[in-house]
Amino acid sequence: MNKTVITNPIIWADVPDVSVIRVGTVYYMVSTSMHSMPGCPIMRSVNLKDWEIVNYVFDILEDNDAHNLLDGKGIYGKGSWAANLRYHEGTFYVCFSCNDMNRFYIYTTKDIENGPWERHVVGELFHDPSLLFDDDGVYVFYGNGDIRIRELTSDGTRLKPGGIDQLVLETPREGIGLRCEGCHAYKINGYYYLIFIEWPRTGNARRRVVGYRSKHLLGPYERKILLDDDMGYRNQGIAQGGLVDTPSGDWYAVLFQDHGAVGRIPYVVPVTWEEDWPLIGINGKVPVSFEIDLPEAEPGPLVISDDFDYDENTLALQWQWNHNPDHRLWSVTERPGWLRLRTGRPVRNIEQARNTLTQRTEGPACRAEVKLDTSHMTPGDYAGLTALQHYYGTVGIQLDEHGERYAVMCVRGEDGEQQAVERIRCEQKVVWLKIAFDFREDRDTADFYYSTDGHTWRRIGDTLQLRYTLHHFMGCRIGLFHYATVQAGGYADFDYFRYERDSE
């Protein structure tokens, strides 16, 4: 078998709260997707390095005003959190909680790459849950600091009447900012292991990996720090995630690190076992690169260019909507080779705009360009390209109340209202727009451009300082949008989306 060289990070983009399993010679990973739909992306790899998106667990999570962006607030920073992926006796399980719904969800399928997924809902909130399939039952561990266990039915889809429901352990409080959470539970060689992220206020004062183990399901559990390292990056500890093995018996941890505005990015770290403890890293450090006894492969692109040339009204898996889409208001078949976005009910800004179509940004730097036909926009409409986060930036064509066209760059002001930084009269109905992102050396910036011929570009507005905040709890995304501020009924057409990423 050829060896593969792992170079960290394995993905320089927002793939947070990773949960990885191996089935035979194939690895699968799920991650948090919050308010992006479809949700809970499933990624596939044969070597833990080269990943491709193969499926999503659900198209939408709930059909209500908040998830449909109709309540003026949405579910930014909420939705599906810290999904956990498991495989047992031919069935794949994904479980997670949804803070805005105060519910626990379990999805099951026999075919993880194609579905369909069956949905099961428990009317309680289990924070950062992890399923554990044991000889005598099925359990979910969960909690923040105070870690609890609940017993499920034998098929792992419902709470077991009269089953175990108790506190398993209390993690330290003194000197701790964020107590243990993000549980990943395992039973390995006769021990029960619970792997957590923790954030102390003392010592290195950064996120770290903490492990608990016991010979008995309900404890008592012993505690050990398994990894405390940041690879020299801003004291941002590489932490939350879990363990996975290879067919030859080697072990690795798949974790993530907060990495500025691009988001939380995944790492693969070697694991050695000492006295039945999984010690993560080489001499306590995360290596930049190392060899792994798994085959070479080609990664599937995480972010793609798109000519919108589809035979059916569908989209590539790399695309996700910001909140639930209104499928009546978009099409890639009405005008073949173009993405058409129609306006729905009027809103004030991009955060309230439904049917914003997004992909991730990637480090160290990347660019996105679109060609936009504004011929059928109506007064008050705004269409274009966005660097989407709480403190967003947009560039596009805006029609005033008289139907006059302007190239506009806007940002979210500190007061929460959208502000036009620069407006330039633009007679032309077909324009080109571009955003350039720079995440090198923590620059975390976006610059905005427009063109009337696709060749000569003019910078518009100011450089946007990108900021990762808990309002969205997500790395900056690239978005295509069109929304009304006065009346519904207009539409804008995007001919293509062109994406480039710098490798250095």
The pLDDT value recorded for residue 126 is 97
Residues sharing a CB contact under 8 Å with residue 290, sequence separation 6 or more, in sequence order: 5, 6, 270, 282
What pLDDT shows up at residue 289?
Answer: 97
- From CA 354, how far away is CA 350, in angstroms rounded? 8
How many Cβ atoms are within 10 Å of 421's Cβ, its own excluded?
Answer: 17
Instruction: Using alpha carbons, list the distances in angstroms from residue 249 to 123, 164, 273.
Output: 39, 33, 11
Residue type, 58: F
| pLDDT tens string 70-79 | 999 999 999 9
Question: Which residues are catalytic, by number?
Answer: 17, 181
- pLDDT computed for residue 416 by the predictor: 86
62: left (phi over 0), alpha (psi -120 to 50) or beta: beta
Query: What pLDDT shows up at residue 414?
Result: 85
Contacts of 355 (CB under 8 A, 6+ apart): 321, 325, 326, 329, 330, 341, 342, 344, 481, 482
pLDDT, one tens digit per residue, over 231-254 is 999 999 999 999 999 999 999 999
| Residue 199 bridge partners (DSSP) | 178
Cα–Cα distances in Å, from 296 out to 8, 246, 313? 16, 14, 35
Q: State how far the alpha carbon of 493 is from the alpha carbons of 172, 314, 323, 335, 497, in Å.
A: 55, 16, 21, 8, 11
Q: Give CA separation, 386 vs 285, 316, 474, 482, 492, in Å.
A: 38, 19, 15, 10, 15
Q: Which residues of 119-157 are buried (b: 16+ CB within 10 A; e: fewer)?
A: ebebeeebbbbbbbbeeebbbbbbbebebbbbbbeeebb
Tokens of 478: 């690239």
Within the chain, which residues score under 70 in pLDDT?
Answer: 1
Q: What one-character DSSP code corresponds to residue 13?
A: B
Length of the chain measured in residues: 504
**Do the strands 445-451 and 357-360 form a parallel or antiparallel pair, or are they unpaired?**
unpaired
Alpha-carbon separation of residue 205 from 177, 199, 235, 266 (angstroms): 9, 7, 8, 21
Contact 399, 379 (CB under 8 A): yes
User: Dihedral sign, CA of 194, 132, 127, 147?
Assistant: negative
Alpha-carbon gap, residue 139 to 131, rounded angstroms? 6
Could you tell me where the beta strands, DSSP code E, fall in 12-164?
19-23, 26-30, 36-37, 39-45, 52-58, 80-88, 91-98, 103-109, 118-122, 130-134, 137-142, 146-152
Other beta carbons within 10 Å of 281: 20
Q: Name residue 36's beta-bridge partners.
A: 322
Query: Which among 396, 378, 390, 401 has a CA at the least distance from the CA of 489?
Result: 378
pLDDT value at residue 299: 83
Give the pLDDT confidence score for residue 319 in this predicted structure: 98
Give the chain's domains with CATH numbers. Answer: 4-292 (2.115.10.20), 320-502 (2.60.120.200)
pLDDT of residue 183: 98
